[in-house]
Structure 1
Amino acid sequence: MSDDIETIAESLAFDLNDDDIADCRESADRLADIAAGVSDDSERTVERTGSLLEDEYGALLDGFETPRTRETGGPLADQRIVVKDNIAVEHLGLTCGSAGFEYVPGFDATVVERLLEAGGELLGKANMDAFAFGPTGEFSGRADVVNPIAADRVPGGSSSGSGVAVATGLADVALGTDTGGSVRIPAACCGVVGVKPTFGHVSTHGVVPFAPSLDTVGPLARSVETAADALSAISDERTADSFGQTSSPSESQAVAADSDETFTVGVVTEFLEECSETVTRGVRSLCGEVESASELELEEVSVDLGSIEDAYLLVGATEFAWYLRQRGLVRGNGSTYARRWSRALREFVDDDGFSDHVAKRVLPSATLDAETDGDSYVAGRLEAEAFGRRLEAAFDRVDVLLVPTLRTLPPERGDVSAHDRLFDVLGNTAPFNLTGNPAVTLPVDGADGLPISVQVVAPRHDDGVAIDCARVFEEIVAESASLEPPALPA
């Protein structure tokens, strides 16, 4: 035992004499006895009561025979809801979209509790890319997810089932998680609305992490209004922010009501320059319609993108590698502390359960992190902070930014891999995870029968401003004779 503690001391660069080592060993033994006596409700056996919800699009997984409800009234009354399968729902299997993993939680995630308290009808779980490693929606180990607008195009991920469930009418509201765009990307690919709230605005208790400093939970719906109702239901102004993006709730942090205010909208030149001609043309068509709207004023703005794409790879994948090394425990910021969960994940990892896609996404950053003793991760965070300062400078001139959600039309299946064309999908969404800004995506036009979507990005904690401005864009699109997003399935 003394050899073990000496090895640990050496790894921590502690230089102690033999007597000190012996004292520490004695203290550790005493703490071990205390830890063994701590009760853990997660240890109880939890019965899996759900059954597979089958649909032609592969959007749904485990669910209830009769929708689960708690309240008969509320802002989400009569709204059918599904949640992504990395969000805990008591008695339903939690697979994270992986073929070889399943855990049955004995509790609901905080966001699930709030949906039920708001009167929602919980149908069950939505499919996803395994362990949230999208971004195209092609990497579920449970079922192939099909884009209902165009089967030869990707549905977007990693919240693929959430986007498809809303687009097809299988659900009125779906929750997804967004670490680099995983709510906004499937919303854009499937032609629906998706909201990424300000980092820390929605509790992640009971949500399986990907990158804890980037992870958010947000709603998808067919309209901005319905998405706003869902966001209001799950929002938590009391949530502590552990990662330096200081939380200071304001009246606009919660979802604002309809506003008569005129918004100054900054069209970001650099983001448009990265987009295909087709997407750029769609955004410019939207801007042409906006010029006649009294509620919006357009202004071209410049924001140097720097190396923000590489910063996302250095931060996101590295944090997931840390999570794997700790076998499912994020010390100091655990989404939940449950021994059954930790054991289940440990067994899955030790049995080489991860797909090649996940491995290829994680390994380069994990290797660099080890080789540089963490300096590469720090570099990624510093680059994100610099980009955030440039965004703040832009917000000194405008109320919101207008950014295309995807750089291209939804890609054809098989065109995007772990290392090829990744940022065609992630490039315009991931930067705002690194900065923590809220962003609302909505469809504004179409081409070749496929949707073109934009993001309305607001300053941190101004979620209500993003929602209100998105409502105005939605009205402009609905009234326009020239803007034509593809129709959703009836």
Structure 2
Amino acid sequence: MRDPWNAFMPYPDADVGHAAIGPLSGLRLAVKDLFDVAGYPTAAGNAAVLAASGIKTSTAPLVQTLLDTGACFVGKTNTDELAYSLIGGDIHFGMPINPRDPDLIPGGSSSGSAVAVAAGLADVGLGTDTSGSIRLPAAVNGLIGWRPTHGGLNNRALRPLAPNFDVPGFMTRSLEPMAAVMSAVGMHAASDRPQSILIPEDIFATIDDAVADQMIASLRSAGIPVREVGAISWLNLDELAWAFTTILQREAWESNRSLLERSMHAIAPDIAARLLSGSRLSEEEVLEARRIREQFSKEIDRLFGEDVLVALPTLAAKPPRRDAAPRCLAAFRSACIKLLCLSGLSGCPQLALPIARPGGNISLSLLGKRGADRMLLDVAKLLRVE
């Protein structure tokens, strides 16, 4: 396959079979290089991990489910190193090129899967989402991005980053193939609809007024009552982002401790620094972060007990240029985590989708209670989207 976008890992082709008939027949599947696929190594965006991988003899169960329902494997895709970034770059294998705007970052860490779908090289991009690694690249590339309920999909033979936040998920160009994927992995059509969609004023106040107005207008087109609320939590976004980042850093260090000890020189300096920061956290800090997470999760459970969905901007800022200074990339990442962490902390599903507007597209997200994944898609079908 010709790949001018650097979406795929440069592996020799191996025969990966799939069912001739099934609900995903005719759909091309790109798989993030964190999942094992028989006949291929798994590098996780790192040369040392690649060197130690060997050729896998079995396929991750989730990938096998997709193959058994008719999806055709077209390759393993690039990822940020160790899946520990939201930008899309990698010092070992390069940064994929954003097909919508080559000057901008592609977003990560599921960068290759997003670019493959956006470029028309695949119909379904399988990725992972820990701190936004599906939702952010989906938003940057104008795609549908689904972060499932935590624990809802099989994650065996998937290299972990932060297990309490890691989830496999998908990106597509439109809602129809996403619906097919949801059915194939056991998320069947829902019969219920939310009583209302909530607009958190504190969050929408952080984005451009014209963009916020366009999002709210699209939400009203669904025919479901829209209610504005001051906030969805007593905790502010800075507190939530701190708690999320603290837990993420500790778990990322634990997941990669042996690699750090064995091959620190083979890890990009900024990634290594973030991993090491997790080792320096005190137990008091980690316990406080977990307490905040538990408190927020209880608040969200009470909120969703009222049979509502929450609407959110997917991104907190415009994507930076791919050649932006490291401090600009870090600022973008930190700003976006304040919104993207809400799903991770609560374990709730989130669906990001593009909305057409003059001058380009914006990405709106729907956040629902645990297990309401299909309801999010059903509501998205009612909205005026691209």
TM, length-normalised to structure 1: 0.72
Equivalent residue for 2:183, pick from 232, 244, 247: 232
Find the aligned partners of 1:420 and 1:131 in 2 and give their Cα distance.
20
Structure 2 counterparts to residues 49-448 of structure 1, below 5 A: 54-62=2-10, 65=13, 68-102=16-50, 103=53, 104-139=55-90, 141-235=92-186, 254-256=187-189, 261=193, 263-275=195-207, 277=208, 280-294=209-223, 296-301=224-229, 302-304=231-233, 305-306=235-236, 307-325=239-257, 327=258, 345=259, 349-350=262-263, 352-368=265-281, 372=282, 374-413=283-322, 414-415=324-325, 417=327, 419-446=330-357, 448=359
Find the aligned partners of 2:298 and 2:326 in 1 and give their Cα distance.
31
User: What RMSD, in angstroms, separates the aligned Cα atoms of the two structures?
Assistant: 2.2
Superposed CA offset, 1:103-135 (max 9, x none): 122211111110111111011101110100111
Matched residue, 1:15? none
**3-state SS of 1:174 partner:** strand
Alpha-carbon offset, residue 464 of structure 1: 1.6
Find the aligned partners of 2:313 and 2:189 in 1 and give their Cα distance.
23
**3-state SS of 1:255 partner:** coil
Superposed CA offset, 1:409-454 (max 9, x none): 22222255575332223221122112100000000134644x3101
Superposed CA offset, 1:344-399 (max 9, x none): x58x833532111212222223212xxx2x22222111111112222233324452
Instruction: Kindly indicate whether the alpha-carbon contact (under 8 Å) linking 1:400 and 1:457 is maintained by their aligned counterparts in 2.
Output: yes
Letter aligned with residue 231 of structure 1:
M
Letter aligned with residue 210 of structure 1:
L
Letter aligned with residue 164 of structure 1:
V
Instruction: Kindly indicate whether the alpha-carbon contact (under 8 Å) linking 1:69 and 1:119 is maintained by their aligned counterparts in 2.
Output: no
Percent identity over the alignment is 29
Instruction: Kindly indicate whether the alpha-carbon contact (under 8 Å) linking 1:74 and 1:117 is maintained by their aligned counterparts in 2.
Output: yes
Matched residue, 2:385? 477
Matched residue, 2:368? 458
The structure number with the bigger radius of gyration is: 1
In the alignment, structure 2 segments of 5+ residues that lack a partner are none
In the alignment, structure 1 segments of 5+ residues that lack a partner are 1-52, 236-253, 328-344, 479-490
Change in 2 beyond 3 A, CA 1:282/1:61: same
Find the aligned partners of 2:72 and 2:344 in 1 and give their Cα distance.
29
Deviates more, 1:434-443 or 1:382-391: 382-391
Number of equivalences: 377
